[in-house]
Amino acid sequence: MTAHKTRFGLVGDIGGTNARFAYAQIDAAGVVALSGMQNLVAADYQSLDAALAAFCRTRPTPPLDFVGLACAGPVRDAAVTFTNLPWTARMDQISRSTGADRVCLINDLAAQAWSVPALGGNDLAQIGPDVPQNAGEAGAPVAVFGVGTGTNVAVHIAGDNDQEHVFGGEGGHVGFAPHDDQDMAIWQHLTARFGRVSVERVASGPGLVNIYEAICSLNNLDPVCKAPAMVVEYARRADPIAEQALYRFCAVLGSIAGDFALSFGARGGIYISGGIAPGLIDILNTGVFRQRFEAKGRFQSYMAMIPTYVILNPFSALLGAARAAR
């Protein structure tokens, strides 16, 4: 895209549960302004085309210069098969249905990573306590750890001459490494159930339920909570098993986030995205998250200087999709 012209486009963030859409205007300096944000329940639509059509019916759609979609699944051969939705997306099909010549399909966590330079103070909550004020290395890689219906990670690297690079993968499907005896007991329970325990089996909405059910089994109790929101609700009511599961979940997030920080050399910080963490700021800030984040043996002092944040802006991936489409 040329830098001398304002561009208008449609952007989307499609996960396993929500399909968020907006219009995006990008000015000559590359600054993104979103408008008309709308959140659709993905399960209400049979296809991406149906969801796009439903969004576009809400207001007249000017001619589109571009479409940028952040998709929860790997992008291969100009197409995406969604991991937790029975949908597919192809660039050529989207171009035909929207009339946009330029279509950008990227992984949803890659879009979150693209958004990081555009996020301000109100978009973030720092997770502590006791994180040094000078934590974070300017210009160093940052990693975004996505915790929602699924799990993934992406890294943003600032290059020379204002260039930016984003690398995504399928980090949610690496193996989960137990940290202590209770982690090991949970891992053994889930191994018997699934055969292999990936990070996504414990660090996601369904992962919270998996942890809760494992703790119930270890205590010879029948599980009551059938959904992540129920586990949180019961924990807030001081139900001892749900409370134990929720704190264990936050501890596990800390361990995994620390592993990702080491893997990517993310000395600029770790940013947690998704719909779960914003509702758990108080528990994350008790220290259970940072203790496990920093507990990396000989690298504990290295980890102590890496800041951790929760992304509060529910439309951050839309910003990222637009920035990627620039």
Q: Which stretch of 27-31, 188-192, 284-288, 295-299 has the lowest confidence by average pLDDT?
A: 27-31
Domain with CATH 3.40.367.20 in the chain: 171-306
Least confident of 55-69, 225-239, 308-322: 55-69
Q: What are phi and psi of 36, to 5 degrees?
A: 65, 30
The dihedral over CA atoms of 293, 294, 296, 299, expressed in degrees to the nearest 10, equals 140
pTM of the model: 0.89
Tokens for 71?
Answer: 């998709």
**CA–CA dist 225, 223 (Å, integer):** 6
Question: Can you tell me the mean pLDDT for 197-206?
Answer: 97
1 band by pLDDT with thresholds 50, 70 and 90: very low
Residue 27 identity: D
- Name the residue type at position 55: F
- Residue 210 is classified by DSSP as H
Token reading at 67: 């479409």
CATH 3.40.50.2300 describes domain 171-306: no
Provide the edge-to-edge strand list for the sheet that holds 79-81: 75-76, 79-81, 88-90
Phi, psi for 198 (deg, rounded to 5) = -85, 170
Which amino acid is it at 272? I
Number of neighbours of residue 65 by Cβ within 10 angstroms: 19
Chain segment 113-133, per-residue pLDDT in tens: 999 999 988 999 999 877 877
SS3 105: strand
Give the pLDDT confidence score for residue 132 in this predicted structure.
79
Look up the CATH number of domain 7-118+316-325.
Answer: 3.30.420.40
Section 57-68 average pLDDT: 85
Question: What is the distance between the alpha carbons of residues 38 and 36, in angstroms, rounded to a whole number?
Answer: 6
Q: What angle do CA 175, 251, 82 make, to 5 degrees?
A: 45
